[in-house]
Amino acid sequence: MSTPNTPGGPAPSSMNLRGAVDLSALKSRAQSANAPAGAQGGPGAANPAPAAAAPGSSPYIVDVTEQVFPQLVQLSAQVPVIVALGASWSDQSAQVLSVLEAIAVEQAGRILLARVDFETQPGIAQAFQAQGVPTVVGVLKGQPVPLFEGVLAEPQIRTYVDELLKVAQANGVSGSLNDAPAGEPDTAGEPAEAPLPPLHQEAFDAIEAGNYEAAAAAYRKALAEQPADADAKAGLAQVQLMQRLQDADATAVRTAAAESPDSLDAQLAVADLDLSGGHVEDAFARLTTFIARAVGEEREAARVRLLELFDIIGPTDPRVNKARSALARALF
């Protein structure tokens, strides 16, 4: 069997179950009583079911958020889960995804395809240490198996999926999604999930409805009542990012930033785009570089935006700690 040449992933023959990525952070965040809005569902029970697929789509293809992701980690003990990380603005993501979707339908339950949008789920991209889109990763028995990055021809993608199935078989993961028992899962003995606070739930419902303005208003109200509510602060920053990117043209944004390196608006816009695409360090570096040479109101505006991006990624992320040190040097 020939080995595809993929700079972003291991050769298929080298696949194994190794804990290269710690997925526990996503599980911990999903089980938090104050999980950020934008999540759907919750951790599975004894026999977790996949997240709901979009109307008219295959039951073997699901769209995944941070809160739903622990279900899939559990489900990877039954069938291989293929996580496709992409972005709506990326034609390459769409190209790879179309091949993977066809394969998932053909496999008829032997694999589950989990689609992840970098623009709204940066925490999952962070967990897999993804550096760009598209990135495709397998999960078996809760362990990640890096596959490839970038665009491959369909035969190469199929080779990777075939090899993943062989590794799954060798590790006893050879079930089918069709084997899941019907009816409600048995949740006896499982801890009940704490409900979201009312205003967080209101924001969550608004995001589900695509009403980012209402979601932002709910988070602002939560912060007015509890200024130290870190989850509301992070949720508001996430919603504001989604609002700014809602109608953005990625090509135009990047062109403007390249042509106008001293334009505050252009640099803020491309930093948003970088962060949403998983290029976290690039976003941070761009703004700290701008801050170092800017003065007055523009410098303060860039600083405030950078702090908002820190909130989205999370205070414990090492990239945030590194960028905070860079910010301090830029300011002083």
pLDDT for residue 213 is more than 90: yes
Domain with 311 in it: what CATH number? 1.25.40
Q: What SS3 class is residue 114?
A: strand
Residue 5 belongs to some domain of the structure: no
Which of 22-26, 273-277, 305-309, 311-315 is predicted least confidently? 22-26
pLDDT band at 24; cut points 50, 70, 90: very low
pLDDT for residue 33 is more than 60: no
Got the DSSP string for 190-250? PPPPPPPPHHHHHHHHHHHTT-HHHHHHHHHHHHHH-TT-HHHHHHHHHHHHHHHHTT--H
Residue 262 belongs to some domain of the structure: yes
Domain with 74 in it: what CATH number? 3.40.30.10
Q: Angle, nearest 10°, between helix axes 318-331 and 280-293?
A: 10
pLDDT value at residue 37? 36
pLDDT band at 194; cut points 50, 70, 90: low
Q: How many domains does the chain have?
A: 2
Q: Are residues 148 and 254 in the same domain?
A: no
Q: Are 171 and 141 in contact (CB under 8 A)?
A: yes
Tokens at 179, concatenated = 């084997």
Of 299, 325, 289, the residue nearest 310 (C-alpha):
325
3 state SS for 26-55: HHHHHCCCCCCCCCCCCCCCCCCCCCCCCC
pLDDT band at 255; cut points 50, 70, 90: very high
The radius of gyration of the chain from alpha carbons, rounded to an integer in Å, stands at: 21
Tokens at 223, concatenated = 């912060």
Q: Are residues 100 and 212 in the same domain?
A: no
Q: Are 115 and 97 in contact (CB under 8 A)?
A: yes
Q: Are residues 124 and 216 in the same domain?
A: no
Residue 189 belongs to some domain of the structure: no
Q: Are residues 311 and 255 in the same domain?
A: yes
pLDDT: is 320 or 44 the higher one?
A: 320
Cα end-to-end distance, the chain, whole Å: 57
Domain end marker among 113, 142, 176: 176
CA dist., res. 271 & res. 261, Å (int): 12
pLDDT: is 266 or 32 the higher one?
A: 266
Instruction: Tell me the helices (H) and strands (E) count for the chain, helix number first.
Output: 13, 5
pLDDT for residue 38 is more than 60: no
Average pLDDT of the chain, as a whole number: 79
Domain containing 82 equals: 12-176
pLDDT: is 124 or 14 the higher one?
A: 124
pLDDT band at 57; cut points 50, 70, 90: low
pLDDT for residue 138 is more than 90: yes
Residue 146 belongs to some domain of the structure: yes
pLDDT band at 275; cut points 50, 70, 90: confident
Span 213-224, average pLDDT: 94
Residue 190 belongs to some domain of the structure: no
CA dist., res. 86 & res. 57, Å (int): 18
Q: 123-136 burial, b if ≥16 CB within 10 A, otherwise e?
A: bbbbbbebebbbbb
pLDDT value at residue 282? 92
Domain end marker among 121, 141, 176: 176
pLDDT: is 45 or 154 the higher one?
A: 154
pLDDT value at residue 306? 95
Q: Are residues 115 and 237 in the same domain?
A: no
Which of 67-76, 192-201, 276-285 is predicted most confidently?
Answer: 276-285
Q: Are residues 29 and 157 in the same domain?
A: yes
pLDDT: is 190 or 324 the higher one?
A: 324
CA dist., res. 292 & res. 303, Å (int): 10
pLDDT for residue 269 is more than 90: yes
Q: Are residues 302 and 170 in the same domain?
A: no
Of 110, 81, 112, 85, the residue nearest 97 (C-alpha):
85
Consecutive H or E run containing 70:
helix 69-75
Residue 324 belongs to some domain of the structure: yes
Residue 3 belongs to some domain of the structure: no
Q: Are residues 284 and 314 in the same domain?
A: yes
Residue 139 belongs to some domain of the structure: yes
Q: Are residues 202 and 168 in the same domain?
A: no
Q: Are residues 154 and 28 in the same domain?
A: yes
Q: Are residues 155 and 254 in the same domain?
A: no
Q: Are residues 49 and 98 in the same domain?
A: yes
pLDDT digits (tens, 9 = 90+) for 90-128: 999 999 999 999 999 999 899 999 999 988 888 888 888
Say which residues have a Cβ less than 8 Å from residue 130's Cβ, sequence separation at least 6. Answer: 85, 118, 137, 149, 278
Which of 21-30, 32-41, 78-87, 157-166 is predicted least confidently? 32-41
